[in-house]
Amino acid sequence: MLLVNTETIPGREITEILGLVQGNTIRAKHLGRDIAAGFKNLVGGEIRGYTELLTEARREAVERMIAQAEQLGADAVVNVRFTTSAVAAGAAELYAYGTAVRLGPSAQGG
Partner 1 sequence: MDAVLYLLVIAGLLVLGILAGGANERAHFRRLARAERELSHIRISNLKRVADPGGVRDARLVLGQVVIATDTFKTWATGLRNLVGGEMHLARRLMVRARREATVRMLREAEALGATEVWNVRYTFCSISMMRGRSGAMQVEILAFGTAVHRA
Binding site for partner 1 (CB under 8 A): 2-12, 27, 29, 34, 37-38, 40-47, 50-51, 53-55, 57-58, 80-84, 86, 89-92, 94, 108
Q: Which of 16/49 has CB closer to partner 1?
A: 49
| 3 state SS of 35 | helix
CB of 92 vs partner 1, minimal distance in Å: 4
How far is the C-alpha of 46 from the C-alpha of 23, rounded, in Å? 27
* CB of 71 vs partner 1, minimal distance in Å: 20
| 14, 78 Cβ separation under 8 angstroms | yes
Q: Which is nearer to partner 1, 27 or 102 (CB)?
A: 27
Nearer to partner 1, 15 or 55 (CB): 55
Give least dist CB 64 to partner 1, A.
Answer: 15
Q: What's the min distance (Å) between Cβ of 90 and partner 1?
A: 5
Q: How many CB atoms are located within 10 Å of the residue 49 CB? A: 17
Kindly give the pairing relationship between strand 14-28 and strand 76-88. Answer: unpaired
Q: Specify the 3-state DSSP secondary structure of 1.
A: coil
Rounded to whole angstroms, how far apart are CA atoms 99 and 93?
Answer: 20
